[in-house]
C-alpha cells in the first residue's frame, strides 16, 4: 500500500481530473438532467464530496458537515427523481473545496502522528483514500459520458499516473501498484 502522502497526491489528481471534466461547462450544463432517472453532473460533484466527508467523519474524526442542507440531497440513497433541486455551482464548488481541505487536514494529522492510534489510523487512512479516489473516478466516468455523449464536449486526457488503470472502463487506483 502507498504512504498517505502519496495517496493524498493521487486524491488531488483525481479531483483535478474531475475539475477538467466540468469546470468549462456552463451552469446550465452542470445542473441539466438528461432525464428523470439520471442525475445532473452537479449532483455527482456534490455526491463525491458528500461521500468523502461521510467517510472521513465516520472512520477517522467526528466532525459536523460543512453544509448540512446538502447531506440528504447528495446521498445516493435519495432516488434520482428527487435529485433535481441542486444548489448553485458556486455552492457546490465551495462544498467540494471545503471537504477536500478537511480530507487533507485529517490525513495530515494522521501522517504527523497527531491522532490516537496513529499506526492503526494509517492503515485505515490508506484504505479510505484508495476508496475515495476510486469513488471520485467512478462518478467521473458518468460525468465524462454525459459531457461527451449528451453535451458534445471533448473529453480531457486521462490523468497521468503509473498507479492508475482501467477496470470495466473505469479509472481505478491500484493500491499495490
Q: What are phi and psi of 12, to 5 degrees?
A: -65, -40
In this prediction, residue 79 carries a pLDDT of 84
Rounded Cα distance, 55 and 155, in Å? 29
Q: How many CA atoms lie within 13 A of 82 on its CB side?
A: 9
Each residue's pLDDT, cut to its tens digit, for the chain (177 residues) gives: 469 999 999 999 999 999 999 999 999 999 999 888 889 999 999 999 999 999 999 999 888 999 999 988 999 988 888 776 899 999 999 999 999 999 999 999 999 999 999 999 999 999 999 999 999 999 999 999 999 999 999 999 999 999 999 999 999 998 666
C-alpha cell at 149: 455523449
3-class secondary structure per residue, 7-38: HHHHHHHHHHHHHHHHCCCCHHHHHCCCCCCC
Rounded Cα distance, 8 and 118, in Å? 17
Rounded Cα distance, 123 and 114, in Å? 15
Helix (H) or strand (E) run with residue 170 in it: strand 170-173
Residue 48: which residues within 8 A CB-CB, separation 6 or more? 18, 96, 135, 136, 139
Rounded Cα distance, 8 and 11, in Å? 5
Amino acid at each position: 500500500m502507498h504512504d498517505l502522502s502519496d495517496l493524498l497526491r493521487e486524491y488531488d489528481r483525481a479531483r483535478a481530473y474531475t475539475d477538467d471534466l466540468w469546470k468549462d461547462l456552463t451552469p446550465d450544463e452542470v445542473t441539466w438532467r438528461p432525464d428523470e432517472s439520471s442525475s445532473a453532473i452537479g449532483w455527482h460533484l456534490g455526491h463525491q464530496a458528500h461521500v468523502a466527508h461521510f467517510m472521513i467523519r465516520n472512520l477517522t474524526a467526528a466532525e459536523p458537515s460543512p453544509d448540512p442542507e446538502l447531506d440528504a440531497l447528495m446521498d445516493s440513497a435519495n432516488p434520482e427523481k428527487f435529485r433535481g433541486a441542486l444548489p448553485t455551482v458556486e455552492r457546490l464548488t465551495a462544498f467540494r473545496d471545503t471537504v477536500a481541505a478537511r480530507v487533507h487536514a485529517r490525513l495530515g494529522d494522521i501522517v504527523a502522528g497527531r491522532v490516537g492510534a496513529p499506526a492503526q489510523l494509517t492503515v485505515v487512512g490508506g484504505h479510505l483514500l484508495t476508496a475515495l479516489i476510486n469513488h471520485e473516478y467512478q462518478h467521473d466516468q458518468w460525468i465524462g459520458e454525459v459531457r461527451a455523449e449528451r453535451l458534445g464536449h471533448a473529453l480531457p486526457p486521462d490523468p497521468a499516473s503509473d498507479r492508475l488503470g482501467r477496470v470495466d472502463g473505469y479509472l481505478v487506483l491500484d493500491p499495490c501498484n
